[in-house]
Amino acid sequence: MKLLKNKKFWAITLGVTLVGAGVVAVAASCSSSNVKSKLSSQLVKSKDEKSFYAVYDIENFDDLTENDKKALNEAEFNVAITSAENKTENATTKGHLLNKKIYVKLPREPKAKEQLTIINKGGLLKTASLVLPDNFNYQTENIGFETKPGSGETTKPGSGETTKPGSGETTKPGSGETTKPGSGET
């Protein structure tokens, strides 16, 4: 009863409540994204088996504004893999928007019972975490934004451009333009 009559107790309680409400309000205003996303429990492995990706499914992609789609295309992520021994390996990476999904490159191949945590820097997508089960399998996909070692070819999804350094060829599909320097052809 003495505690309830103490003015300091009530001042501290009221102060903590007001500060807590302010923090909740700020957090709610920062997470007012129009993007509805879900981290897929299926991880993706590239065909060359050297790159590993987590995949965000964008559930309302067709309803998004052009600004939201542009922001998704430029999204950056902090990715962390925490082992069963609580050792964390992390990286910052840019997401790749392809077929209404965002592919987030992982710092290394995750193993069973490890925890994967992905935080979108811009707050456009939900922070997600996934503990990998003992029996998880990768889905192998031909994702067009990887660099093929030794070939010098890089594909950029959405831009419609493929370049082959050293060959002097640049092709823009759909535009009907092919240029070969030195041949006099355009």
Q: CA 186 to CA 184: how far, in whole Å?
A: 7
Q: Does the predicted model carry a pTM greater than 0.85?
A: no
What would be the CATH architecture of the domain defined by 37-141? Sandwich (2.60)
Q: Which residues are within 8 A (CB) of 148 and not within 5 positions of it... i.e. 6 or more apart? A: 48
Q: CA 67 to CA 64: how far, in whole Å?
A: 8
Residue 18 has pLDDT above 80, yes or no: no
The pLDDT assigned to 4 comes to 56
Domain ranges of the chain: 37-141, 147-179
What six digits make up the tokens of 64?
Answer: 């998004």
Residue 25 has pLDDT above 70, yes or no: no
Residues of the chain by 3-state class (helix, strand, coil), percent to 5:
20, 35, 45
